[in-house]
Structure 1
Amino acid sequence: APVVVFGPVSLVNGKVLFSDFFIKPNYSADLTELTGKLSAFSSQPAGSEPVLADLELRGRAEGSASLEITGKLNPLAKPLALDIQGKVRDLELPPLTPYSVKYAGHGIERGKLSMDVSYKVLPNGELTASNKLVLNQLTFGEAVEGAPNSLPVKLAVALLSDSRGVIDLDLPISGSLNDPQFRIGPVIFKIIVNLIGKAITAPFSLLARAFGGGDELSSVAFAPGSAALTPEARQGLDKVAKALTERPALKITVTGTASLERERDAIQRERLQALVHAAKRRAAPADTTPVQAAEYPALLKEVYRRADMPKPRNLVGMAKDLPVPEMEALLLAHLPAATEDEATELATQRGQAVKAYLAEQKLPEERLFIAAPKAAKPDEKWTPQAQLNLAAQ
């Protein structure tokens, strides 16, 4: 085969006019002030490796964004050989509205894109690429009627934007140029669409990108029968509060849940504990500390003494002194059966406890909501909890 030698080439104040007629409306972009150089390269490999030419190119995109491409490449090599890096700074995003309408169903009203990309193709055709994108003040318009897709872009932006309105994304890509099905553009698009889709399917996993945790942050666990926050629940809510502080466009709704079927006995036990607490308050109204293990037997005995129910008697007809477990069993059996209303109240208290804790972390009340309590229909995996749901303001 003939050997093709190309270059070196210099470019001074060049211009490229790009148009995409496959998108409606058509998209056009101008690359101007292009200045750079490409050293010589050949189709003849030096040994087993193709000779790579040095590339330097700088210019402007759409008149305002700076553009820089550096690295090495040989477009005559089979497969294509390259190792290049590119930078774009402050590309205005509204002109890309035809693409955002087609793929997401919303136009872009405002925003700028800066990115750093690195693409490398190995001799075996394997591509590795990194795409670091920074989106500044990205704002989508309302859904476009008749658009082929409508993705939750506003919620995705609210989840991903920090307190300065900046979205920082890292989108690595790998694949083989020998695979006829592999195309870089669709791969990047698929990654972004999947990311936006998570705004509905797993919003807390998007928050976890910056703040740790994961989907487990979407619910707050409680002990059966209780609406008290555990230390573990507080730790999870601390992460949620931090995320909401850094994501000011988000609001959160708390839905308390409970199950009479699963929590009937625990609700009864919580009732008994409330009676013990009441006995402590009667004895020492100023003492608001929790009941301690050492004082529990005496307080339980007082509750038992005051209870109007049949009690085991001794030979002289006096109520017997009973050990703690027996007193508890008799008192629990005497208490009225737990009701659906009590389960609903428990669910309400759980929602209120979560909202109150988030408010204590200085989150504005206008971003905190409580939904109607929910009677859970538990499966084998269900646990007592409050559910958290995120939305864009």
Structure 2
Amino acid sequence: MRWLLTLLVIVALFLHNLPYLIRDQAVIWLRSQGVETASLKALNVNWLSGEIEILELRAESDGHQSLNIDRLFVKLDYAALTDQRILVRTIQLKGLNSGIVEQAPSLWLGPIDLNALSGDSSTQETSDTGSAWLPGIDDIQLEDIRWYTAMAGQEHQLSIEQGELKDFHFWNKEQPTALNLDGSINGAPLSLKTEMTPLPEEKRSTLRVNISQFPLHSVTALIEPGLKAFIDLDLKISADFKGESGQVKQSGSIRVSDLKLARDGLDVQQSDLNWKGDVAVSLRDGQPDNLSVKGLLTGNKLDLKQPETALQLAGYTLSLNTQLEGKQQSLSQKGPLNLTGLQASMGDQSLQSATFDWDGAVALVLNQGEPKDLHVNGGLSGQGLTLLQQKQQVKLGRYALNAQVNSADMVAFDIQLPSTELQQFSLSAAANPLLAIQKLMVKQAQVKLPLQVKTGPVSVDDLLVLGENKHLLKLARTRLKSVQFMPEQAAALGSLSMAGLDANVMLSPEGKMSDVDWLLAQLSPPSDDKAVEEKSTAETSKPLRISLKSFDLVGENQINFTDQGAEPAFSSTIDLETLTLGAVDTGTVQSTPFGLQAKINQFATLDLKGEAELSGDEHNADWQLNLKNLELPPLSPYAERFTGYYLNSGQFNLDAKGTLAAGKIDGTNQMRLNRLTVDQRDSDKVAAFSQKITMPLETAIMILEDNDNNIELDIPVSGSLSDPEFGYQSVINELAGRGLKTAAISFLTKSLQPYATLISLASTAMEASEKGTFITLTPVTFTPGSAALNGQGKEYLGKLSDMLQERKAMRLNICGRAVSADGPELMPALVAANKKRKKPLPQEALQKELQQKLLDLANQRAATVKQHMSASVDNSRLFLCFAKVEQAADAKARVELGL
């Protein structure tokens, strides 16, 4: 018994002293590892209860992290050993302050060089036979843990105020294990609550994590040194797996704030990014099978910049309802996308939109990862859109459209746009407004790629086109029934209707439409060789076939015309009451009816109708035109420019009919001029115009004007369009020249028949000056030596008087003529009288007296004609001219008459 008692005492003493021995050896070992200061306050072991306690372990060295443990308590369950279980009832760790630091070439745990601890690296054979012993832990409690790591260029700090792991037993695999942590990581408050069953084949876990203001850059600095951001997590994550198949679900919120990224010219800043929703991922045999995302993504103040590119968003919201089917390889998304304060730029192009909203669904089928089948259905709207490219700027106050997009192969697309609406559209260049539309609507549009466009009704309200000085065009309403367009093939337009036209056409002093030229210059892009090359290529392509079902302009419409090149400046207003056009098709030759009713300068009326072939080679046409009461004085600047005359008064009326067939024009023009009076302003132009009509315009007016001060002309026009000399100017010449001349001669011939055979016109102004008249009428003949009218002369003068009564503006020049045949008739009387003189005159003096008698005879003949006509014609219209004696042997005794 004594030896047994002694043995028990020795064992008791050994067990009692063993903790002290271990404590001292631990301190010695720490110092042997280079620890400068090492201490262990106590190592307490309760062999009966299986409790082990370590108090105040301290290990410190200058330049290294310390290794401090305030208390480590472990309690074992001896009873479980009988069931071949190693059960740790509790582990309590408090006041751990240490970390792992990489200082090349060593890795340090606190002040301990872990590389120095590496022993024999030779592998030891292990038995393949599994152990019958099963471990387990009832509870692990952590308190006041401070852990620091500095590895691979990164530093992290983990602080655990309270932590607990409960119920982890290999013999009870279905029992849930809980892990809870409260503390901080890298200064960010952290709360982690987990319940899991990691041991059975069907594994389940639930994780609740809450992190506030975690510096994301603390873990990304090595791979993305230019990234800085803070993240907040409030998530619940659950997983349920059997083998490699299962599902992971996430719900809760994620917030990223103060995001900054700078890399290779890229600068990204994001004030706030938030996600709140649910995510579910299913795996089958380790491969993704299904992804479901439902939630809301919001962000504020996004600013992205890189060379020649920038993007800014004041805010954005994306509602996600996304499904990704792995087996079917399909992706679908439903929900709205809202952007505010959008600003984007690339090079010299920029885009701004106060709001941008999309609400719809997108479905996409993938074929081996490549997009295959696409379906989009939704609505797009926004406000305050601005597009800027170089000097041109487009603005939209509001826009909205509904869209359906379908593509089976991502090559051919079918886009349906049931409704598209644009409001407050404007186009400007270099701060100069060019174009504005209050409202544009397109219904039932369809776009197919390769490009084909079809639309239903198109409406435009309040169209405004501006020039440099004033607006070029205002149009209150435009309605187009349909559009069909195929590039390089055809453009088919349905019925087009317009109303409320207000247009300004202005010619500069140089005769150019400067406002139009200015507008085209503002719209034209900078020229380059590529553009010129593309234009040349386009010019050789087949002409586009254009068709229009009908066109009509109704309501109150006005065109204001101004010509600054006229002196004084000319202006005119045309009020269009109706303008109609029938079907037009450049692909076929067909006759298109047209009609126009308008007022000119408030009082004149214009009515035009007819038909014309607008395509083909011949352009056959017929027309009827009626113009009434056109005031002529406003046209004086043009009359002076082309004729040298100023129009003091007058009205113009025209009835015109004509046809164009086989390239030949044939028409009649019935004109009436009321109370036309003119003044000469440019003598050179007057002379040239008089030469053209072979008489002064005043003379033509005098002849043609009736007693009501009206001139009526019936002038045909004909010619061939193939003749390069035939054009609008030749028509004007025809009307002005041959028309006036023919009308004048025709009237005179008709009025004086049968005494009109010797009517002639002066060919030049010099000839007219020599004759004293532009129009020479048939003279009144006399018997040689006589001043008495014969019967034929009286009859002729009667007809002439009647004509002057019919044309009260006519003035008649009466020029007496004596001829050599009158001399023999007068000489006998002179000879007889000479003989009775006391002193007869010599022959030479007698000849002089004969010449005076001939001149007197010529004056008597003129006076006789005037005296005869004054009975019915006012003397103020009858003018005697200087009498002459003609010596030509064949000259006839006469009185010449001229107008």
Give the TM-score taking structure 2 as reference length: 0.33
The residue type paired with residue 671 of structure 2 is L
Tell me, in whole angstroms, the C-alpha distance in 2 between the residues paired with 1:34 and 1:125: 31
Q: What is the identity, as a one-letter code, of the residue corresponding to 1:39?
A: G
- Cα distance in structure 2, aligned partners of 1:209 and 1:257: 24
Residue 159 (structure 1) aligned with residue 719 (structure 2): no
Q: Relative to structure 1, is the Cα distance of residues 72 and 128 closer, same or farther in structure 2, using a 3 angstrom cutoff?
A: same
1:186-335 to 2 correspondence within 5 Å? 186-193=730-737, 205=745, 207-208=747-748, 211-213=751-753, 214=756, 215-216=758-759, 217-259=777-819, 261-267=820-826
1:34 aligns with 2:577: yes
State whether residues 815 and 896 of structure 2, in contact with CA within 8 Å, keep that contact through their aligned partners in structure 1. Answer: yes
Q: Which residue does the alignment assign to 2:853?
A: 342
- Name which of structure 1's ranges 240-249 and 4-13 shifts more when overlaid on structure 2: 4-13
CA contact (8 A) 2:706 2:806 kept: yes
Cα distance in 2 for residues equivalent to 1:129 and 1:18:
28
| Cα shift at 1:120 | 1.0
- Higher mean alpha-carbon deviation, 207-216 vs 124-133, is at 207-216
Partner of 2:864: 353
Letter in 2 for 1:41: V
Matching residue's letter, 1:385: R
Distance in 1 (alpha carbons) for counterparts of 2:602 and 2:725: 35
Q: Which string of whole-angstrom CA distances, capped at 9 and with x for unpartnered residues, describes residues 133-163 of structure 1?
A: 111111223x225764355333332222111
- Secondary structure, aligned partner of 2:724: coil
**Aligned amino acid, residue 205 of structure 1:** I
Q: Write the letter of the residue equivalent to 2:675.
A: Q
- How far apart are 1:377 and its partner, in Å? 3.6
Contact 1:113 1:134 in 2 (8 A): yes
Decide whether aligned partners of structure 1 residues 16 and 52 sit closer, same or farther in structure 2, where only a CA change above 3 A counts: farther
Whether 1:89 and 2:625 are equivalent positions in the alignment is: no
Instruction: Select 1:60's aligned residue among 576, 596, 599.
Output: 599
* 1:64–1:133 Cα change, 3 Å: same
Q: Secondary structure at the match of 2:628?
A: strand
Corresponding residue for residue 10 of structure 1: 552
Alpha-carbon distance between aligned partners in 2 of 1:26 and 1:125, rounded to the nearest angstrom: 37
Query: Which amino acid counterpart does residue 169 of structure 1 have in structure 2?
Result: L
Deviations 1:45-77 (A, max 9, x none): 5xxxx4212222211112211110012112223
1:375 alignment partner in structure 2: 885
Q: How far 1:131 sits from its partner (Å)? A: 1.5
Partner of 2:720: 176
> Partner of 1:9: helix, strand, or coil?
strand
2:687 pairs with 1:144: no
Looking at structure 2, the residues matched to 107 and 241 of structure 1 have their Cα atoms a distance apart, in angstroms, of 31
Residues 187-245 of structure 1 show CA distances to partners (whole Å, capped at 9, x for unaligned) of: 3235414566x6xxx99736416624445334212233332323332232222211211
**Shift in Å, 1:257:** 0.4
Letter in 2 for 1:74: E
* Distance in 1 (alpha carbons) for counterparts of 2:683 and 2:815: 34
Query: What is the alpha-carbon distance in structure 2 between the residues aligned to residue 264 and residue 5 of structure 1?
Result: 85
Q: 1:71 to 1:105 in 2, by over 3 A?
A: same
> Secondary structure of the equivalent of 2:898?
strand
Pair 1:170–1:377, CA change in 2 (3 A): farther
Alignment of 1:72-111 (within 5 A): 72-111=611-650
Runs of at least 4 residues off by over 6 Å: none
Shift in alpha-carbon separation, 1:147–1:227, aligned structure 2, 3 A:
closer
Verify the 8 A CA contact 1:171 1:188 in the aligned structure 2. no
User: For 1:233 and 1:191, how far apart are their aligned partners in 2?
Assistant: 36
CA distance in structure 2 between the aligned counterparts of 1:138 and 1:104, rounded to whole angstroms: 15
Report the 3-state secondary structure (helix = DSSP H, G, I; strand = E; otherwise coil) of the residue aligned with 2:811.
strand
Structure-1 separation of matches of 2:699 and 2:823 = 38
In structure 2, C-alpha distance between the alignment counterparts of 1:363 and 1:253, rounded to whole Å: 13
Q: Secondary structure at the match of 1:226?
A: coil
Aligned residues: 316
| Shift in Å, 1:389 | 2.6
| Alpha-carbon distance between aligned partners in 2 of 1:246 and 1:126, rounded to the nearest angstrom | 39
Q: Does 1:112 align with 2:659?
A: no
2:826 & 2:895 partners in 1: Cα distance? Answer: 17
Aligned to 1:385: 894
* CA distance 1:266–1:62, change in 2 (3 Å): same
Query: Per the alignment, do residues 185 and 19 of structure 1 end up closer, same or farther by CA in structure 2, a change over 3 Å counting?
Result: farther
SS at match of 1:383: coil
Which is further off, 350-359 or 3-12? 3-12
Question: What is the deviation of 1:168?
Answer: 0.7
- Give 2:514's aligned residue: none
CA distance, structure 2, for counterparts of residue 174 and residue 369 of structure 1: 41
Q: Aligned in 2, Cα 1:379/1:264: closer, same or farther, shift over 3 Å?
A: closer
Q: Is the 8 A contact 1:102 1:149 kept in 2?
A: no
Distance 2:873 2:812 in 1: 10
Q: Is the 8 A contact 1:104 1:153 kept in 2?
A: no
Superposition RMSD in Å = 3.2
> Is the 1:204–1:218 Cα contact (8 Å) retained in structure 2?
no
CA contact (8 A) 1:79 1:177 kept: no
More moved, 230-239 vs 59-68: 230-239
CA distance in 1, matches of 2:714, 2:876: 32
Higher strand share: 2
Tell me, what secondary structure is at the counterpart of 2:637?
A: helix
TM-score with structure 1 length normalisation? 0.71
Alpha carbons of 1:160 and 1:37: their partners in 2 closer, same or farther (altered >3 Å)?
Answer: same
Query: AA paired with 1:129?
Result: G
CA distance in 2, matches of 1:159, 1:68: 30
Distance 1:9 1:268, change over 3 A: same
Distance (whole Å) between structure 2 residues aligned to residue 145 and residue 346 of structure 1: 41
Larger Rg: 2
212-221 vs 239-248, which moves further = 212-221
Displacement after TM superposition at 1:342 (Å) = 2.6
Taking the aligned partners of 1:249 and 1:190, their CA distance within structure 2 comes to 25
CA contact (8 A) 1:226 1:267 kept: no
Q: Give the CA deviation at 1:8.
A: 1.5
Q: Secondary structure at the match of 2:870?
A: helix
Query: Would the alpha carbon gap of residues 30 and 146 (structure 1) be closer, same or farther in structure 2, given more than 3 Å must change?
Result: same
Tell me which protein shows more helix as a share of its residues.
1
Q: Deviations over 1:96-120 (max 9, x none)?
A: 0011111222211211111111121
| 1:159 and 1:206 in contact (8 A); partners too | no
**Structure 1, residues 332-386: CA drift from partner, whole Å, max 9, x if none?**
xxxx9992233223212211221122123x1112222322321114264x32210
Q: 1:205 to 1:268 in 2, by over 3 A?
A: farther
Q: Tell me which moved more, 169-178 or 187-196.
A: 187-196
